[in-house]
Amino acid sequence: MRKLKLEELDRLSVTDFKSAEKLPIVLVLDSVRSMNNVGSIFRTSDAFAIEKLILCGITATPPHRDIEKTALGATKTVVWEYFTDTTEAIKKLKKQGYSIVAIEQADGSMDLCQYKPDRTKKYALVFGNEVFGVSDTAMELVNECIEIPQFGTKHSFNIVVSAGIVLWDFYVKLK
């Protein structure tokens, strides 16, 4: 067995990526403080070809070298938008017909393994701050809440790990 060379991976060009079919998902980052996490979310969003990334509150925006360090160019492929207020972003997405789903540990949350996304819907997945999670004001506006099961002693995954797990799960279930 040998590793494939970069040119053998048959990746889309930036132009082809922009016109390619996207997974009907928008990620909303609710005051994510680490620029490395933001860059990694851009890269993960590119990998799953999501529709858009919405950065809110204290979440840093490109261009910034600390974002680019982990994004590896994905800030040029993934469509993104910035809102000072997460609730305004969520209200706009609701008007556009998105089902708003928080990824959070909450009363009434559903286990990710049990969640069945509907292929006829568009989803906005809300990920929160690394310490405080999804804000209370954003939680008041969500339609549903998903929790990733955990079996160890820690209370949470890193946001990038959470995004990767949830996007993979949605990709498998929607495709």
Give 68: exposed, middle or buried? Use CB within 10 Å, 0-12, 13-18, 19+.
Answer: middle
pLDDT range class, residue 44, cuts 50, 70, 90: very high
pLDDT tens digits, 45-98? 999 999 999 999 999 999 999 999 999 999 999 999 999 999 999 999 999 999
The lowest-confidence range among 6-10, 21-25, 46-50, 146-150 is: 6-10
Q: With bands split at pLDDT 50, 70 and 90, how would you rate the model's confidence at 153?
A: very high
Question: In the chain, what percentage of residues exceed pLDDT 70?
Answer: 100
For residues 12-32, average pLDDT: 96
Average confidence (pLDDT) over 102-114: 97
- The predicted structure's pLDDT at residue 45: 98
Which amino acid does the sequence have at 15? Answer: T
Residue 65: the pLDDT is 97
Query: So what's the pLDDT on residue 164?
Result: 98
pLDDT computed for residue 63 by the predictor: 97
Report the pLDDT value the prediction gives residue 122, as an integer from 0 to 100.
Answer: 98
Cβ neighbours of residue 87 closer than 8 Å, sequence gap 6 or more: 137, 138, 141
pTM of the model: 0.96
Summary mean pLDDT of the chain: 97
pLDDT for the residue numbered 77: 97
- pLDDT (0 to 100) of residue 173: 97
Q: What is the pLDDT of residue 158?
A: 96
Written as six digits, the tokens of 97 are 């017909």
**What residues have CB less than 8 Å from 6, skipping those under 6 apart?**
none
Q: Which two tokens stand for residue 33?
A: 């403080």
Which of 52, 51, 73, 49 has its CA nearest to residue 63?
Answer: 73
